[in-house]
Amino acid sequence: MVIRMRHTRAHTRNRRSHHAIKQGGVSTCPECGSPKMAHRACGDCGVYRGRKVVGKKQAEAPATESKKKTSQTKKSK
């Protein structure tokens, strides 16, 4: 196959000049004041548009204790 209309390097680069990744909008959370991305829930407090939509994860301390107990029982046997 033959290229009929070849674009020059300048034409190609001018077209691609708009392909750069733009920085998203950063705003402050009205609840806790930490920086957050626009139109997304706050990563620190989990609030979006005045409602709590995301909760914090539970502490993993009880899960690690149960693993320790099972490993101790295996060692004693």
Q: Is residue 70 part of a domain?
A: no
Q: What are phi and psi of 23, to 5 degrees?
A: -75, 135
Q: What's residue 24's pLDDT?
A: 85
Amino acid identity at 54: V
- Could you tell me the pLDDT band of residue 22, with boundaries at 50, 70 and 90? confident
Which residues are 28's β-sheet partners? 35
Q: Is residue 61 part of a domain?
A: no
For 3-71, give the secondary structure using H, E and C.
CCCCCCHHHHHHHHCCCCCCCCCEEECCCCCCEEECCCCCCCCCEECCEECCCCCCCCHHHHHHHHHHH
pLDDT at position 23 over 60 = yes
Average pLDDT over residues 44-60: 79
Question: In this structure, what DSSP letter does residue 77 have?
Answer: -
Q: Is residue 31 part of a domain?
A: yes
User: What is the count of structural domains for the chain?
Assistant: 1
Which structural domain, as residue segments, surrounds residue 34?
24-51
Q: What's residue 31's pLDDT?
A: 86
pLDDT at position 65 over 90 = no
- Could you tell me the pLDDT band of residue 72, with boundaries at 50, 70 and 90? low
Question: In this structure, what DSSP letter does residue 76 have?
Answer: H
